[in-house]
């Protein structure tokens, strides 16, 4: 328990050896360290001082959260970082999803290694003004499962915060795992003294997701993290009509692909249809979606991002959706959200993104 570190063999919800409840909490029952924690001298964690010194060069810290997995939170974190970097901000992206680090793939950095210098761990750079740190860079095999209890996860998050040298940056975007678990408590605890600008919460439109997002909003309120806004992702499938496949059912398990016949018919009889975009509500938004929830919970609504197959492809290929016209459905929505975020918080927009 040197320097107040949580031992690896501690119980899952260990309050930490420096906590006043160390060794006395219900969470401490049965822990092999219970007696040592109860009798150990208490005091401030010296690592928090080191973290504060590291974070002194970071102007703004943004957490990206979600109540439920699979809502596109990491995709949003990646594209938010790309967008800020495209505006000439200096940006860092920290992936603290220890068990499911997808950021390296989404930024095209698979197979990269972390390097150390006399200043600390160096982020892996996508561009000169966009650095990334993730446990994904530390795994010998990308298929390796990370089977860690809470204390070990918390220890790595602390190490990322105190040992990674970001230099002078405008934004540190922190991509957190879904839910409200140990990682979330740790990142808030470690950064609280240095100031967290707030959290962006990502959801999909249906109530199954919004139920958990409400919990995420309440978590932020309880721990004193401002909610910068909620993003409704996958808000309706938007896709060019010509990119769809068309099938005919036969009354059996067999399906007949009639795509070419349909496209040929449109070319011959209604060519104007070839330029149309089809929109379909994949998720039930009859309950009002994220916008209604934000009104009810008195938090900002930043906007909607459609379910765009081209954005999904950009994430798979590890590239920005803003560099070409392929993501013409989703990129404008993301740009609008970023501009809303900057304007609402009076963060200076140094260079406008290409329109």
Tens of pLDDT along the chain (355 residues)? 545 567 777 777 787 776 777 878 888 888 888 877 877 766 667 889 999 999 999 999 999 999 999 999 999 999 999 999 999 999 999 999 999 899 999 999 999 999 998 999 999 999 999 999 999 999 888 888 888 888 888 899 999 999 999 999 999 999 999 998 888 999 999 998 899 999 999 999 999 999 999 999 999 999 999 999 999 999 999 999 999 999 998 878 888 999 999 999 999 999 999 999 999 999 988 889 999 999 999 999 999 999 999 999 999 999 999 999 999 999 999 999 999 999 999 997 543 344 4
Q: Residue 257 pairs with which residues in a beta bridge? A: 247
pLDDT score at 5:
66
pLDDT score at 26:
84
pLDDT score at 139:
87
pLDDT score at 355:
41
Beta-strand pair 198-203/58-66? parallel
CA distance 90 to 210: 33
Q: Is 176 helix (H, G, I), strand (E, B) or coil?
A: coil
CA distance 323 to 339: 17
The helix-helix angle for 150-163 and 182-191 (nearest 10°) equals: 30
Q: Residue 63 pairs with which residues in a beta bridge? A: 174, 199
H helices of the chain, in order, are 34-39, 46-55, 73-86, 103-106, 150-163, 182-191, 207-223, 259-269, 289-297, 309-317, 331-344
**Contact between residue 38 and residue 17 where contact means Cβ atoms under 8 Å apart:** no
The CA angle 96-330-88, to the nearest 5 degrees, is: 60
pLDDT score at 352:
39
**Contact between residue 329 and residue 306 where contact means Cβ atoms under 8 Å apart:** yes
pLDDT score at 41:
62
Ramachandran quadrant class, 146 (left: phi over 0; alpha: psi -120 to 50; beta: rest): beta
Ramachandran quadrant class, 111 (left: phi over 0; alpha: psi -120 to 50; beta: rest): left
**Contact between residue 103 and residue 77 where contact means Cβ atoms under 8 Å apart:** yes
pLDDT score at 44:
67
Kindly state the tokens that stand for 316: 């798979």
Total-model pTM? 0.84
């Amino acid at each position: 328990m040197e320097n107040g570190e949580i031992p690896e063999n501690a119980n899952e919800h260990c309050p930490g050896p420096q906590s006043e409840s160390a060794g006395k909490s219900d969470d401490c029952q049965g822990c092999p360290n219970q007696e040592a924690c109860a009798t150990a001298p208490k005091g401030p964690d010296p690592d928090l001082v080191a973290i504060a010194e590291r974070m002194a060069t970071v102007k703004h810290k943004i957490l990206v959260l979600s109540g439920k997995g699979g809502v596109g939170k990491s995709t949003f974190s990646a594209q938010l970082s790309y967008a800020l970097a495209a505006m000439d901000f200096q940006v860092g992206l920290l992936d603290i999803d220890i068990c499911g680090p997808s950021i390296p793939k989404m930024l095209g950095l698979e197979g990269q290694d972390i390097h150390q210098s006399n200043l600390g761990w160096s982020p892996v750079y996508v561009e000169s003004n966009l650095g990334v740190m993730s446990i994904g860079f530390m795994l010998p095999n990308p298929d390796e499962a990370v089977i860690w209890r809470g204390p070990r996860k918390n220890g790595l998050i602390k190490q990322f915060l105190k040992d990674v040298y970001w230099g002078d940056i405008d934004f540190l975007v922190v991509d957190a795992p879904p839910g409200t678990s140990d990682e979330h408590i740790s990142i808030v605890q470690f950064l609280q003294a240095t100031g967290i600008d707030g959290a962006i919460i990502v959801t999909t439109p249906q109530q199954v997701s919004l139920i958990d997002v409400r919990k995420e909003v309440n978590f932020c309120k309880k721990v004193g993290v401002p909610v910068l806004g909620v993003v409704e992702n996958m808000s309706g499938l938007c896709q060019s009509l010509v990119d769809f496949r068309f099938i005919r059912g036969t009354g059996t398990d067999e399906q007949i692909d009639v795509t070419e016949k349909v496209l040929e018919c449109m070319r011959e009889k209604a060519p104007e249809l070839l330029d149309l975009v089809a929109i379909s509500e994949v998720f039930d938004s009859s309950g009002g979606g994220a916008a209604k929830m934000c009104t009810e919970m008195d938090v900002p609504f930043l906007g909607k991002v459609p379910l765009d197959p081209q954005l999904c492809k950009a994430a798979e290929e590890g590239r920005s959706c803003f560099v070409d016209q392929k993501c013409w459905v989703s990129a404008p929505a993301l740009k609008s959200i970023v501009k809303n975020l900057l304007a609402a918080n009076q963060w200076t927009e140094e260079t406008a993104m290409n329109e």
